Amino acid sequence: VQLQASGGGLVQAGGSLRLSCAASGLTFSRFNMGWFRQAPGKEREFVAAVNWSGGRDSVEGRFTISRDNAKNTVYLQMNSLKPEDTAVYYCAADRSIGSSLRKVYEYDYWGQGTLVTVSS
């Protein structure tokens, strides 16, 4: 299984970015997908998730997660970015049923991360 995250970069506060995570080696449509982030010196934290049936959860109203099962890809649209959004963003895949999708330990596979830097 491989999860390849991309789309990070440097953006000014108030700007937008769309992250992508391309999955391979798994039956993508059967997996729940999540985005987490980790800032320097902090623990990895939940950002957003979409389950296998399309149900979505997010801690930020500025962020929207979506999936395209035909492309085996999950996206994270981030708007109105703030300097505190600066972190490495990771995508992850979870095969289970009934998990909250908000916990790091619930996920089976992780991508390598993509760095988002928001300047003030």
pLDDT computed for residue 11 by the predictor: 98
- Residue 103: pLDDT band (50, 70, 90) is very high
pLDDT computed for residue 88 by the predictor: 98
pLDDT computed for residue 82 by the predictor: 97
Query: pLDDT tens-digit profile of 41-100?
Result: 999 999 999 999 999 999 989 999 999 999 999 999 999 999 999 999 999 999 998 889
pLDDT computed for residue 97 by the predictor: 87
User: Using a CB cutoff of 8 Å and minimum separation of 24, what contacts does 42-49 make?
Assistant: 42/87, 44/90, 44/104, 46/101, 46/102, 46/103, 46/104, 47/76, 47/89, 48/76, 49/101, 49/102
Name the token pair of 99. 């998990």
